[in-house]
Amino acid sequence: MKQLFILTLFLAILGHTHIALGQINASPKTNAIDSIIVNKMKTLGIVGLGAAIIIDKKITWSKGYGYADEIQKKPFTANTIMNIASISKTFTGVCLMRAVEMGQVSLDEDINTYLPFKVINPNFPNEKITLRQLATHTSSLADRSPFYADSTYFYGDSKPEDLGKFLKDYFVVGGKYYSEANFLTSKPGTFRAYSNIAAGLAGYIVELRTGEKLAEYAKKYIFGPLKMINSSWSLATTNVKQHTKLYSKTGNNVKVIPLYEGTTYPDGGVRTSVNDLAKFFISLLNDGAYQDARILKAATVKEMLQFQFTALNKPENVRLDNLNSGIFWATKMGATRIGHNGSDPGVRTFMLTDLNKEIGVILFSNTSLSESEELKFFDIYDELYQYGQYLKRIAKPIYPSN
């Protein structure tokens, strides 16, 4: 049965990547990357995977491997839709920076200026918390464990709580989710601790100040202009027929995870495809523009992506040679890459480029792995980045950017 599965998988790959293969018959390197990815998927037990390579701000290569639905043998393609976990924060970042452009918020104002309830760290009641701190994970607001992971995901037909009500209950004394453990014992701005709840709060402030839900705001100012036809910020507005199934691997067993939504959707609720996300990524790498569309002014993008930490102004636990941060944008892999990645049940995603913004890689997987296997997922990213270096050298786009 295992050999039959491998053969079927290989045929599925050939069946939905004929455009790329047909244009590069003479490239042993391309045949090699296909073989490497398929073999790593087999070793790790990944059901479906999609990827794109961006060279000098152009989509140069994109492809899918394996299955979006293993039972139905439905191929995973570069147009397959899936939730992208924390890469969604970069969309929240763009929405936030557009509100900054419009004069609706300031990155350095006390967030309580904008909220209908007060968010105060009880350990530092006189210290303000700002949107800049929310966006650089220095706000002192914490994802209380295990509550956050156990109580903010809603599977199948169950519906998330209202975002504003949840945040009030979490941050305000007397709320049903309130705890002093929701706050760090470090003063706002002095310590970096990754915070999903802070991203949820930032997105909620954008909604309050713009008068629009992020789903509609992003549709109007991001998805629409960039022609991201396979993208949305809610399951209700997603083409579920084109959405991948999600899988979890434990040992040698792979099981389906029901689709889900999160209460704090600004931190991870965007659903898109590899090809759609590539348009968005290019717009950020290209000062806010993709083809004839612009989502932010060039100066605004520069402010969003520029490093916020300096030798004289950085969190006490940050080493600049290892990590720096933009607005919902950060260095990764020992400060050799910039962008964002994401991880959720049945989801692993990368959207990273080198510091010079010459080679970008987008990578989607629809399968959760064990912690020990998770590190090997980076190997696939590394192989794709090396393939990107090869494509840059030969300077011949092999896949249309449509």
Q: By three-state DSSP, how is residue 331 classified? A: strand
The mean per-residue pLDDT over the stretch 322-344 comes to: 96
DSSP string, 148-216: HHHHSEEETT--PPPHHHHHHHHHSTT-TT--GGGB-SS-TTS-----HHHHHHHHHHHHHHHSS-HHH
Domain residues of the chain, as ranges? 2-85+227-394, 89-210
Please report the pLDDT score of residue 401 as a whole number: 42
Please report the pLDDT score of residue 373 as a whole number: 84
The mean per-residue pLDDT over the stretch 55-70 comes to: 97
The mean per-residue pLDDT over the stretch 239-254 comes to: 94
Please report the pLDDT score of residue 251 as a whole number: 86
The contacts of residue 66 (CB under 8 Å, 6+ apart) are 9, 12, 13, 38, 41, 46, 47, 48, 49, 75, 76
Please report the pLDDT score of residue 375 as a whole number: 80
> pLDDT tens digits for 102-112?
999 999 999 99
pLDDT higher than threshold 80 for residue 28 = no
The mean per-residue pLDDT over the stretch 185-195 comes to: 98
- Residue 311 DSSP one-character state: T
Confidence of residue 10 (pLDDT cuts 50, 70, 90): very low
pLDDT higher than threshold 70 for residue 18 = no
* Strands of 293-401, DSSP E: 293-294, 330-332, 337-344, 347-354, 359-365, 367-368
Please report the pLDDT score of residue 19 as a whole number: 33
pLDDT higher than threshold 80 for residue 241 = yes
> pLDDT tens digits for 74-91?
999 999 999 999 999 999
Correct CATH for 2-85+227-394 of 3.40.50.300, 3.40.710.10, 3.40.50.1370, 2.120.10.30: 3.40.710.10
Give the C-alpha separation, 65 to 383, whole Å.
Answer: 15
Confidence of residue 27 (pLDDT cuts 50, 70, 90): low
Give the C-alpha separation, 118 to 98, whole Å.
Answer: 24
The mean per-residue pLDDT over the stretch 233-244 comes to: 93
* 2-85+227-394 matches 89-210 in fold: yes
Pseudo-torsion of CA 142, 347, 256, 63, nearest 10°?
Answer: 170
The mean per-residue pLDDT over the stretch 366-394 comes to: 91
Least confident range from 309-313, 319-323, 398-402: namely 398-402
Average pLDDT across the chain, whole number: 91
pLDDT higher than threshold 60 for residue 349 = yes
- Phi, psi angles (nearest 5°) of residue 222: -125, -65
Correct CATH for 89-210 of 3.40.710.10, 3.30.70.2740, 3.30.420.10, 3.40.50.10600: 3.40.710.10
Please report the pLDDT score of residue 396 as a whole number: 54
Q: Pairing between strand 153-155 and 260-262?
A: antiparallel
Confidence of residue 327 (pLDDT cuts 50, 70, 90): very high
Instruction: Give the H or E element holding residue 111.
Output: none
